[in-house]
DNA sequence: ATTAGCACTCTGAATTGGCGAGTGCTAACC
DNA sequence: GGTTAGCACTCGCCAATTCAGAGTGCTAAT
């Protein structure tokens, strides 16, 4: 059931054309395509075959053919050529990323913006998951009556904070003391191991403050994997430019789904196990995205994957371009995060 | 040029009706309205007068009338009655706000969600501006070669961080020492005064580190008023439900404008000088929002205004409801922030 | 001052009739 | 046998047309 060279060529031509035009492509268009010297009738025969094999579909008799998800899968796996980024595109990315970025949140936001600006699709970025980071500092800062702010800082320069309760009898000196002890004791400990370590090392001078320490640790653990999905989103409205979403209801459901973030969060989390993923149309589990394709990549510090980001577009997206952009971004984001944040 | 009681009554009836139906209201509908015992012909005469006075407009001959911005202004100033919140609505708000909120960002996000969920319009929230907060703690945490993270914590429990450069010859002990000195020296100093204070008190033991301290202060100052507008947005897609935005292009421009955040940021900043603002249609400076109304309120800790939030909807919005919601939210948000963050 | 009546206007929805793009099939061609 | 020209047919799309309904303004009567 695999295709001969000619069928492949025709299929590729159809897909390329459809990606550009978004409207069913007919036999005539392909027969005029450079390279083939075949009449439209011949192409028609081939197209009928391709349709039988499930690679093409017809919206209705007497329309051209459009590629099926199966066709896109084949295209992505075997015939797509990555499109190198143009100078202009690189300039766009640079413009977004070269601003003064002294905070991780800002980096994430600008990454999303750069991605959506350069691809014209919808971009999403999952901020770093701190699990694999190592602790650098813990600070307890007393606030008003019975409250304090826990601040944790990790090796890579990420800070998280949370308000916690403090026993009434605890002085601010003692909070300072505890901060110092915790920092010392757990310096360079993986963030996701702090919980167990604290549990096992609760003895000694810390024992009497057990309950309090537990609440501190719990607060920290909540921050490792943000429960409030903090996914950065950009260019959701780009989708409205594409004829696929000229139907108001489709547009509405798409935007609503995306605004909720939580689906994106799940997808990105799942995807952060693999360097790249491409999910086409029906391969998506969410009903919502059955006619979208989603391409993701991970970024990392050293070898440790930190988080991921991706592009959502119509199945008819420009896969070649998108892949190149993600590759480029993966590299620059990883560099940016491991070597330095732009403080100048 | 002021209106007699009957004209006022008719105008109010028209506005109330139009707010519900979004379609031009005709004389017949009003004449049937309870309270008036007038025939449609009489109403027509009055409507013609109201039109001449600029309170009504006709989309075209032989359509009903729709209220002008001027009419809404009158409505809001003189005839609107605030609609008390229903139990259901209060429940919705509670549901959003009662989650575990141990971080200011999360509070802001949930506030926006609650607002948009309960009003069905678009909600925006400007996170606290730290200018009026007082410093509680400064911590410099060494990261890799030549970098450190500055963390500042304010009285109200807000934390901000930024990556900065550190002179190569500075030890981590010295960073710790400087943290302690800075915290001590500027404890309880208004955030927006730190700059000048540092400039004037640079003498003594800190003098030799002048350049470094300047960069620390600069980083802190950048965080007081976030340049990356960090406005929380929720329910942008709610607008698509309203017939005003059934036109794709209108919807597109609205969503794009709103996604950019920066306009919202400006508006909210401007609005944060007043407890409440209502801006109707053409009163908006931005071309983009000429057929929206925007209602805002501020929240505060004690008497100090911290930030603001608001609702964007069609000019035909339910002003009474929106005002009540904002009042309610203003109170609960101010309480939440001044007394405690929900850590349980 | 109010109202009934009427002619007039305008929109929006439904219907219709080409036009054009594209197909599938058949018969001829190399 | 693979390829192609030719042709009848299908179907969506667009523009033009029609028609009902809602609403108006005006006038004359109450």
Question: Residues A310-335: pLDDT tens digits?
Answer: 999 999 999 999 999 999 999 999 88
Distance B322 CA to C27 C1' (A): 75
d(CA A134, CA A204): 24
Same CATH topology for B87-128+228-339 and B131-224: the answer is no
Taking only Cα atoms into account, the Rg of chain B, rounded to an integer number of angstroms, comes to: 26
Q: Is 3.30.450.40 the CATH number for B87-128+228-339?
A: yes
Say if CB B124 and CB B264 are below 8 A apart: yes
Tokens in use for B52? 């001449």
How far apart, in whole angstroms, are the C-alpha atoms of residue B289 and residue A150?
A: 41
Phi-psi region of B232 (alpha: psi -120 to 50; beta: other; left: phi over 0): beta
Minimum distance, in Å, between the CA of residue A154 and any CA atom of chain B = 8
Q: Which helix or strand (DSSP H or E) is residue B325 part of?
A: helix B319-339
Within 8 A of B147 by CB-CB distance, chain A residues are: 157, 340-341, 343
Cα dist from A332 to A109, A321, A325, B215, B226, whole Å: 15, 17, 11, 26, 25
Average confidence (pLDDT) over B85-97: 96
Q: Looking at residues A137-162, what average pLDDT do you find?
A: 91
Query: Rounded mean pLDDT of A182-198?
Result: 90
Which of A96, A143, A188 is the best mutation test for B, with the most CBs of B within 10 A? A143
Count other Cβ atoms within 10 Å, centred on residue B160.
Answer: 21
Q: B47 CA, C6 C1': separation in Å? A: 20
pLDDT at B136: 95
So what's the pLDDT on residue B223? Answer: 85
Whether the beta carbon of A20 falls within 7 A of nucleic chain C: the reply is: no
Name which of A151, A140, A215 is nearest A181 in CA terms: A140
HEC readout, A186-246? HCCCEHHHHHHHHHHCCCHHHHHHHHHHHHHHHHHHHHHCCCCCCCEEECHHHHHHCHHHC
Q: Map residue A146 onto helix, strand or coil.
A: coil
B131-224: what fold? Answer: Enolase-like; domain 1 (3.30.390)
Interatomic separation, CA of residue B16 and C1' of nucleotide D29, rounded (Å): 34
The mean-pLDDT minimum among B73-77, B202-206, B224-228 falls in B202-206
Domain edges within chain A: 5-79, 87-128+228-339, 131-224
- Examine the pLDDT at A1 and tell me if it is beyond 70: no
Q: What is the CATH number of domain B5-79?
A: 1.10.10.10
CA distance to A130, A140, A272, A278, per residue, from B139 (Å): 20, 11, 32, 43
- Strand C reaches within 7 A of the B249 CB: no
Does the pLDDT at position A31 exceed 80?
Answer: yes
Confidence of residue A344 (pLDDT cuts 50, 70, 90): very low
Confidence bin at A227 (pLDDT 50/70/90)? low
pLDDT of A205 strictly over 70:
no
The token pair at B62 is: 């032989």
Per-residue confidence (pLDDT) for residue A228, from 0 to 100: 64
Q: What pLDDT shows up at residue A342? A: 46
Q: What is the chain A residue with the closest CA to B261?
A: A234
């Amino acid at each position: 059931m695999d295709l001969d060279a000619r069928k492949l060529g025709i299929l590729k031509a159809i897909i390329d054309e459809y990606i550009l035009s978004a409207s069913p492509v007919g036999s005539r268009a392909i027969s005029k395509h450079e390279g083939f010297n075949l009449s439209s009738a011949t192409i028609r025969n081939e197209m009928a075959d391709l349709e039988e094999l499930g690679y093409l579909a017809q919206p209705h008799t007497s329309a051209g053919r459009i590629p099926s998800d199966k066709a896109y899968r084949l295209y992505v796996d075997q015939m797509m050529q990555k499109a190198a980024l143009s100078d202009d595109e690189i300039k766009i990315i640079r413009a977004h990323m070269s601003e003064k970025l002294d905070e991780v949140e800002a980096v994430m936001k600008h990454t999303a913006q750069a991605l959506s600006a350069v691809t014209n699709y919808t971009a999403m970025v999952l901020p770093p998951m701190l699990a694999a980071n190592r602790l650098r500092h813990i600070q307890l800062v007393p606030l008003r009556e019975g409250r304090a702010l826990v601040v944790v800082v990790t090796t890579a320069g990420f800070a998280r904070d949370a308000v916690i309760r403090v026993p009434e009898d605890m002085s601010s000196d003692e909070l300072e003391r505890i901060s110092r002890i915790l920092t010392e004791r757990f310096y360079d400990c993986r963030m996701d191991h702090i919980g167990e370590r604290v549990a096992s090392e609760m003895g000694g001078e810390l024992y009497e403050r057990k309950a309090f320490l537990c609440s501190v640790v719990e607060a920290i653990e909540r921050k490792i994997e943000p429960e409030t999905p903090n996914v950065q989103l950009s260019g959701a409205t780009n989708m409205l430019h594409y004829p696929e979403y000229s139907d108001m209801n489709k547009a509405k459901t798409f935007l609503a789904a995306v605004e909720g973030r939580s689906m994106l969060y799940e997808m990105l989390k799942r995807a952060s196990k693999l360097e790249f993923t491409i999910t086409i149309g029906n391969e998506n589990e969410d009903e919502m995205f059955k006619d979208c394709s989603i391409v993701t990549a991970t970024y990392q510090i050293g070898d440790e994957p930190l988080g991921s980001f991706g592009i959502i577009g119509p199945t008819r997206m420009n896969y070649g371009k998108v892949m190149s952009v993600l590759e480029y971004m993966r590299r620059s984001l990883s560099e940016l995060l491991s070597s330095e944040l732009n403080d100048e």
